[in-house]
Amino acid sequence: MCLAVPGKVVEIFEENGLKMGHIDYAGAISRACLEYVPEIRLGDYTVVHAGFALSILDEEEAAKSFAAWRELQAAAAREGVDLFGRPLADADADADEQE
């Protein structure tokens, strides 16, 4: 019922007055209704639930998440911040204080 895997829109067509599409999941093609994502275009990635596309995956947001994670991964070691840019708690210092 709940398919958490994103798929790529490879065809858009109309059927019985409804906007429909073929979605490619790494080679497996399935049909989905696109009525709830009217602005979707060929090549967009979407999340489908029970035969209905519910969102168009936002490339910019995905890229932003990754850029932040990757950058901060490197920065974490250098600057003592976590992946979300906040200062990391110094576990050792905390332990020392408790002793």
Of 42, 82, 26, the residue nearest 34 (C-alpha): 42
Q: Which residues bind other proteins (CB under 8 A)?
A: 1-2, 4-6, 8, 16-18, 25-26, 30-33, 35-38, 45, 47, 49-52, 54-55, 57-59, 61-62, 64-66, 69, 73, 76, 82-84, 86, 88-89, 91, 94
Q: What's the closest the beta carbon of residue 22 comes to other proteins, in angstroms?
A: 13
Show the tokens assigned to 24: 């490619």
Helix (H) or strand (E) holding 2: strand 2-15
Question: How far is residue 46's CA from residue 89's CA, in Å, rounded to a whole number?
Answer: 38
N residues, the chain? 99
Nearer to other proteins, 12 or 83 (CB): 83
Q: What's the closest the beta carbon of residue 11 comes to other proteins, in angstroms?
A: 16
